[in-house]
Structure 1
Amino acid sequence: MELTPDLQEKKQFLIEGLKRTYKGQYDAIQPLPYIKDRLYCVDKVFVEGGVEVCLAPEPTPGTRGSWERLDSYKSIYTDYRFKSKRRIIQGEPGYGKSTLTLQLAYDWCNDVSDSPMNNVEILILLRLRQLGRVKSLYRAIKSFLLFHEPRVSKHELEKIIHSCSSVHIILDGYDEYPGRDSNDNDDVHKIIKMELFADFDVSLTTRYLPGYLRKETMRAKLTGFDDKARNEYICKAVVSNNDEAVEEIKQRLNENSILADLCQVPLIFVMFAHMAHDQRDLMKFKSVTKFFKHMIRCFYDHLKQKFKGNRSNDFYLHEMEHHELDKIAFEGLNKENQQLSWNKTRFRQRIGRESYDQYISIGILVEEDEVNDDSTGDNVLFTTMVRFYHKLFCEWYAAHHLVTLVKNAHNLSDILRFVDPFDLQYLFRFACGLNPNAGKKLINHLKSLPDGDKFAILCILEQTGDVNNIMDSVKELCSRVVKIERGDSALLQRSTTQLLEIASKNHIPISCVHLWHCSPRVDESGLNLILQSGLSLSILSSLQELRIWDNRRLTNEELAAILSYSSQCTTLKELLFSWYILPDAIPVGSIPPSLKSRNVKVWNYKYQDSRRLNLQTGQWQACDGNGNLPGEEGFNVRSYQESLAKFNRARRK
């Protein structure tokens, strides 16, 4: 559509107005919320973490689809295999979804040549949590992105956008959108369902998937920071390529073994890196609960220094006594539709003006304008809303109230009616770390839920109570199959591996470990299985059965390395490869003698065809119904012949 000269001029006003708004946002990155005078441009601190893309947007029931790791977030938009007008970028709390959107905005504003936003005429970036009940996209753009640009009306905005050859819309934070998962026929839902702006590129960030995605929608997932990303962030944003300082921070991270893995969560790592650089006497932490407790103390210490101790008693009181804040946080999370922001006036009345001002000054709470429901037409009214700096902080304070409720409760189902542990992992972890007695009740509750054992694992590692209580839980969990899945969060995977290592070091039998689509490989030392997430699984001396499920090809060298690793798990009885494409035969010399001496059963299972490795010949063979090969005690000839016939039929296919 051709624009009149007047609208052409207003199009330029529109673009300049958007860039002015985005600059104000991407120039205000605050790694430590309590240090408000230390702001960064996003380009100075943005570091690429892990990114995966789903190659099968509509996996068949019971499968997780096929995911592939990408070298860069840019490939989400540039790789021809992922061409789509709708993209979902998933990520857990603190994994950098919003930071990524600001980097894309920076790229667009500054014409970064290798950015996927370089050829985009108009970029629309909206934070969905601010939209309130606004149903019109144009009204949202006018209210939040062009509030300082009176020369472009909402009606003109619509004409200009439809005239553009390239428009990219980024909707940030669907999980915090007030109208999420509702039946409202607003523009956000129409856009996701491709009923509106079907020709525009749209990216949606969220912690979970909307329930009405079209098959054209491409899914990407942020998987957090690996060692390379952590090193890059330290050099780029903390110490400016000072090698000695980099090594010092890395050493502090390594000293905090639990945080070394939790710091795959970018938000946690960023705060840790800056604190490790600023504090020469940084303590060691055994849990994320203790780290968070220390971090809150740093918030208050920084504020006390500003006032030079004149109000230290007041600060101490607010630091230790925050019952009403705890209650508000828990009430917000314990709802069918979570409440993550509150009206400033009512919020301040509940906790008191002095406490409120202090939380704002410290950075635990932040204020943000939201469109008022009373707005009409172009007459936009705003209400000041208040929210926690990050949802993790909301979960931290809510956990304190949860502890109070759980300690005195006989039935947790009513208390936790709307609290979903799949969504609020940190709430449970913090509560278990804050109070061992409440933690024990919560762990028992989690175990009663489908797949709840995994969340119990996270909480067990936070407990600070009697080690025997922890060992009892470890024994119970390891008596069943412990599954590590590719779709698990890095945090959950690492917590599971830590559980297994605790069991192994304490000689607790591990019944079975099932690695599902984790594509494990053995490191150069031969002592660790490296999962696709980058996490490692050390040798488990008390492991009895290892199952590895993946639909890919293994070379002779890869298979020999896994056999070598398995041979060092001294109680292992069975090793099963499921759906792998394995070499037809294995050189006898690459089969570890300890596997032979212990007669470990090594299986290759595909479809309904199961074969067992003859450790003496290196051949895969059919066996009888009890898993015995010819010559072994208890071998059944008739059963073997039936299995052999089935095996040969499968080979001919």
Structure 2
Amino acid sequence: MKRNCSSDMANVLLPRSGDLEPNPGPITKPGDLSERELHLLADFIDPSDFRKVGLALGFTEAKLSWFERDNTGILMGATYKMLCEWLKSVGHQEAREELSNKLHNINLVQLAEIVQKGKVDDHVPSMTEEEFQQVIKAVKEYSALHHCQIQADPLNSGVLFKFDEIFTNLMLMEENKRTTSKASLLYADLLKTKVNGVLPKRLLVEGEGGVGKTTLCAKIAWDWIHGAGYQKFKLVLLILLRDVSDKTIGEIIKSYLPDDIEITAMQLNKHIFSHQKDVFLVLDGLDELAGDLNNPHQIALIILNRLFKSGRVLITSRGWKSDEIRKISELRKLYAFIAVEGFSANNLSAYITKFFHPDTTPAEDLNRFISNNDVIRENMAPFPIYTVMLCIMWKDFDGERRSAMSKLQTFSQLFDEMIHFLVDHYLSKLDTSAIDVGGKMDRKRKDILRHLSDIGCIALQGLHDRKLVFTEQEFHSLPGSVDTGCQVGVLTKQTQSPSPRERRHHSHSAVSSVQFPHKLFQEYLAGMYLSSLHNSGRSEYDRLMMDIIGRASEFRELLYFTSAQQKEVGLDIITRLIASILSMEYGDVDDDFIVDVAYESQDQTVAKAVADHLLTSSSKTLVIGEEMPAHTEAGHIFIMNHRKVVSKFSKAIHTRTATSKS
């Protein structure tokens, strides 16, 4: 049902009795149109008026259709882009009056007056200090419950660690922009890091999947809640970007509040932008944000420093996505870049001790096991997510399976072991007397693995579309898969209420959302499915792989897990990556990248193909330096039969190389 914008805006925008200040003060002439005003206007303009406004601004029907297509059906985004495009074509001083006149000419009188007066959100009642204190208290309670309790064991959702029971410090490194070298950074100095002598408004914390970025964000929220840090801010707002969609800051905060706090999302939004210096935004998972930064939702504009310019913002991301910020010269100047590098050896030991507390025996045994296993110690243990997986399996494994753990070499092998462990754990809870007859147990196992591969199909499509939160309806063609995935532990399901904008344009009812416990689980199951297509759907495999190789850095972990599934797939991936280097078609693949993928395959045929490539494309002498990641070093050693290894640094590095080889 279409709404009339003029009458609708009259209902929405005219102040209620008591909303007006008794003494509004002198009337001042509004300044230039701001991006925030355009963003608010885009939200106010009714969808039925989009084309009318666009034509009045001088756009053609074809251009309006382009705006719609470019914003994937989000009409508010299309409207905002249209207004920004129009603003480029007029002088800033004349823009306000010209836009007001054009809106007046198409009978959007109320909107025209709002633009003319520069009071786009004046209709929204301001929050009182007492109301804001209510919000602060509620956000603290929400973050304490939802962000600062750690479910370290995905098999048991009923067991949650208090944050201070399990949190272990992470290694942070600050980047020198002139040399790109890194220096150790204390957590306490996180907001003291400077850019050319100035405290920056934007900090980008980078790290690989599973290295502890989300835990760092939770630590910030925890310290603010308990008065241990960040007390200069009245509000520290932790936002998981995978859950954002196109929500505004106000809508996100509103979703954190209990129902009995009758403050609107628009009031919250107005207050946050009017008190930017009081607010610290912690945005976790830029690489998990749906869509891309060209979609003009509020969060993207904050990341691009086009909104919330006076406020402090910390953003976490995997490297491939943070490169999008680095490539924008203006943002490169504004951001401080910090790397999170997981656990040091001492912190690793401390984490394991906390995990098993108060039982010291398994903690001591696992610490000893890791200290004696160079590959696990160097490659896996620094990553908190892999340490968690090692702890979970160590807790339940017997001597034989613990011995099998000592043979683990790669991330893929650890995930493979973890998935089979989850399946075995699920099967052990079933009535074995009822199913372990005539091979029923094996059939049940195969049925579960089939469901996991089916889930991988949705997982892969999600990675392609940069989507990490799904509706249960998206799995409707795979009956039983969601339930199986949740029972095994590779999926979680929760009910989400739609934002006001979603209710306005789509469904009014809450929906069940489906997620993976970590993006790496999504990537692993996607790799299972993609590998299966090599045999069962080759044309689809080729089509998908062409896109994946073109975005190789984004799909690094997916390529790891896929190449490990079977020899033929690993060799095919390596061949494609080598071809991309030789053709210089893609700039994000280098020899070390190929070595990493080959190492995950653990196949000698793949290693030989990479060695042959390296012998013809680079020096026959391999130099292992201090900056080389342990995983890449292990990969070079994996193919070293064809290369000579030297070290130009310390004896310690040379010793580590020799030990790893053995």
Structure 2 match to 1:123? 236
1:87 maps to 2:222: no
User: Does structure 2 retain, via aligned residues, the 8 Å contact 1:129–1:176?
Assistant: yes
Which residue pairs with 1:446 in the alignment?
Answer: 577
Report the CA distance shift for 1:82/1:448 in structure 2 as closer, same or farther (over 3 A): farther
Shift of 1:17: 0.9
Whole-Å separation in 1 of the counterparts to 2:276 and 2:554? 39
From 481, 486, 491, give the equivalent of 1:360. Answer: 486
Superposition deviation, residue 85 in structure 1: 1.2
- 1:428 to 1:185, Cα distance in 2 relative to 1, 3 A: closer
1:342-353 to structure 2, matched below 5 A, reads: 342-347=470-475, 349-352=476-479
Q: Pick from 329, 345, 351: which aligns with 1:227?
A: 345
List per-residue Cα deviations over 1:491-531 (Å, max 9, x = no partner).
xx223322443455x4x333887x8xxxx5x2xxx35359x
Question: Match of 1:286?
Answer: 409
Which among 230, 240, 249 is matched to residue 137 of structure 1?
249
Q: CA 1:528/1:485 → structure 2, altered by over 3 Å: closer, same or farther? A: closer
One-letter code aligned to 1:350:
S
Equivalent position of 1:300 in the other structure: 423
| Residue of structure 2 aligned with 1:509, choices 613, 625, 643 | 643
Give the Cα separation in 2 of the matches to 1:216 and 1:128.
21
Match runs of 1:229-268 below 5 Å: 229-240=347-358, 242=360, 244-254=361-371, 256-260=373-377, 261-268=379-386
**Which whole-Å CA distance do the structure 2 matches of 1:76 and 1:154 have between them?**
30
Shift, 1:299, TM fit: 1.4
Q: Which residue of 2 aligns with 1:111?
A: 227
Distance across 2 between alignment mates of 1:39 and 1:324: 30
- Aligned partners of 2:466 and 2:126: how far apart in 1? 47
Measure, in 1, the Cα distance between the counterparts of 2:171 and 2:565. 31
Q: 1:367 aligns to what SS in structure 2? A: strand
Give the aligned partner of residue 193 of structure 1. Answer: 304
Quote the residue 2:530 is aligned against: 402
Please state which structure has a larger fraction of its residues in strand.
1
Q: Distance in 2 between matches of 1:28 and 1:95?
A: 18
Contact map agreement 1:50 1:225 (CA 8 A) in 2? yes
Residues 395 and 122 (structure 1), Cα distance of their counterparts in 2 relative to 1, 3 Å cut: same
Aligned counterpart, 2:279: 167
The two structures have a TM-score, normalised by structure 1, of 0.69
* CA distance, structure 2, for counterparts of residue 487 and residue 133 of structure 1: 39
- Measured at CA, do residues 216 and 188 of structure 1 come closer, stay the same or move farther in structure 2, by a change above 3 Å? same
Q: How many residues are treated as equivalent by the alignment? A: 502
Map 1:545-564 to 2 at 5 A.
none
* Counterpart pick for 1:274 among 380, 387, 392: 392
Q: Distance in 2 between matches of 1:411 and 1:164?
A: 49
Equivalent residue for 1:324, pick from 447, 451, 454: 454
Structure 2 CA distance for partners of 1:374 and 1:473, relative to 1, 3 Å: closer
Deviations 1:56-97 (A, max 9, x none): 1xx5xxxx6232222x32322134567211111111111111
Aligned to 1:47: 168
Distance 1:357 1:32 in 2: 19
- CA deviations on 1:98-148 (whole Å, 9 max, x unpaired) are 111111111111111xx3x233211111112212222x2212221x22254
**Alpha-carbon distance in 1 for matches of 2:427, 2:212:** 30
CA 1:538–1:187: 2 relative to 1, 3 Å? same
Structure 1: gaps spanning 5 or more residues:
531-535, 542-653
Distance (Å, rounded) in 2 between the aligned partners of 1:503 and 1:358: 39
Q: Distance in 2 between matches of 1:405 and 1:286?
A: 26
Supply the distance in 1 between the matched residues of 2:478 and 2:502 (Cα, whole angstroms). 27
Unmatched tracts of structure 2, length 5 or more: 1-20, 25-124, 582-588
Superposed, 1:386-535 pairs within 5 Å as 386-407=514-535, 409=538, 414-419=543-548, 420-450=551-581, 451-465=589-603, 467=604, 470-471=607-608, 473-474=610-611, 476-477=613-614, 480-481=618-619, 482=622, 493-502=629-638, 506=641, 508-510=642-644, 520=649, 522=650, 526-529=651-654
C-alpha RMSD over aligned residues: 3.4
**Aligned twin of 1:17:** 138
Q: Conserved in 2, the CA contact under 8 Å of 1:86 and 1:202? A: yes
The answer (yes or no) to whether the contact 1:326–1:398 under 8 Å persists in 2 is: yes
Partners of 2:203 and 2:337 within 8 A in 1:
yes
Task: Give the AA of the match of 2:459.
Answer: A
Please give the TM-score of this superposition, normalised by the length of structure 2: 0.68
Q: Which residue of 2 aligns with 1:218?
A: 336
- C-alpha deviation, 1:155, in angstroms: 4.0
Q: Would you say the 8 A contact 2:170–2:344 is kept in 1?
A: yes
- Structure 2 partner of 1:181: 293
Q: Structure 1 residues 486, 251: closer, same or farther in 2, change over 3 A?
A: closer
In structure 2, distance between residues paired with 1:529 and 1:233: 29
Residues 22-75 of structure 1: per-residue CA shift (max 9 Å, x gap): 11113431112122222112222221222111221xx5xxxx6232222x3232
CA distance in 2, matches of 1:385, 1:332: 13
Between the aligned partners of 1:374 and 1:53, the Cα distance in structure 2 is 40
Is 1:98–2:214 an aligned residue pair? yes
1:275, distance to aligned residue in structure 2 (A)? 2.1
SS of the residue corresponding to residue 183 of structure 2 reads strand
CA contact (8 A) 2:285 2:317 kept: yes
Find the aligned partners of 1:359 and 1:469 in 2 and give their Cα distance: 32
Distance 1:416 1:238 in 2: 42
Higher helix share: 2
One-letter amino acid of the structure 1 residue matched with residue 151 of structure 2:
Q
Q: Do the aligned partners of residues 6 and 273 (structure 1) sit closer, same or farther apart at CA in structure 2, a change above 3 Å counting?
A: closer
Which AA in structure 2 matches 1:266? P
2:316 is the counterpart of 1:205:
yes
Aligned equivalents of 1:306 and 1:511: distance in 2?
A: 50
Deviations 1:476-502 (A, max 9, x none): 4356245768776xxxx2233224434
Measure, in 2, the Cα distance between the counterparts of 1:181 and 1:26.
25
Structure 2 counterpart SS, 1:33: coil
Q: Deviations over 1:312-356 (max 9, x none)?
A: 7474133332342222222222x3x42322221231x1221x332
SS in 2 for 1:351: coil
